[in-house]
Structure 1
């Protein structure tokens, strides 16, 4: 199973179309995970035209998105349990706020966004993954998103995909 992981797309303000470096990945995705900050409901609809989407809302999403998406979500792919949260709030780090949202749940992978900073680390057997942003790199050197590959036997790998130009 080929899953694309996104967060903080902030469209159409930060990009009017999907970056060319991201498009081939969306086109072959079996599923898409988005950790919030779409900014426009049409962005969700656009992603759904590529593959099924599991998503949560972020702090910059309006009522139109908050009425259709949860604040956090747990999904499972071939036995791999994935928690999704945006990670916004006050106090602590973004990763810690995301972890706290699932304090009573057993996860294999926690996907979060908010900071626009790509991160991939393991804490106490839990993999924490922030894909960064494919359209708004802020102070990062490159734009980024994630690619999660899950085999039918539940083995999986996850990595960042980086690129320098969101316009092609």
Structure 2
């Protein structure tokens, strides 16, 4: 199962169309995960045309998305337990807020967004992953998103995909 992981797309403000570097992976995805800050409902609708989408709302999403999407989700793919949240809020770091949202829950992977900073690390057996942003890199060198491969036997791999130009 090939899952594309996005966050902080901020469309259409930061891009009018999907970056050409991302588009082939969206077209080949079995599932798409979005960790919030779509900005506009049309972004979710567009993603849904590629593959099934699991998503949470972010702090800049439109009111209809905030009403429709949860603030956090628990997902399971071939036994892999995934926590999904945006990570916004007051106090602590984005990672700390994301972790606090799943305190006491048995998850293998925690996916979050908000900071636009790519993160891939493990602490105490939990993998933290922020895909960065495919359209709004802020102070990062490159735009980014994630790819999660989950095999039927429960093994999995995770990586960032980086690129320099969100247009071409």
TM range (shorter): over 0.9
Give the whole-Å Cα distance in 2 for the aligned partners of 1:100 and 1:70: 16
- Offset, 1:65: 0.3
1:42-71 superposed Cα distances (whole Å, 9 cap, x missing partner): 000000000000000000012110111000
Counterpart position of 1:6: 6
Counterpart position of 2:61: 61
Moved beyond 6 Å, runs of 4+? none
Counterpart position of 2:104: 104
Give the whole-Å Cα distance in 1 for the aligned partners of 2:93 and 2:62: 23
- Offset, 1:32: 0.3
Counterpart position of 2:135: 135
Counterpart position of 1:45: 45
Give the whole-Å Cα distance in 1 for the aligned partners of 2:85 and 2:19: 23
Residues 1-168 of structure 1 mapped to structure 2, 5 A cutoff: 1-168=1-168
- Offset, 1:127: 0.2
Other structure's SS at 1:91 match: coil
- Give ranges in structure 2 of 5+ residues lacking alignment: none
- Offset, 1:143: 0.0
- Offset, 1:90: 1.0
CA RMSD of aligned residues (A): 0.4
- Offset, 1:120: 0.3
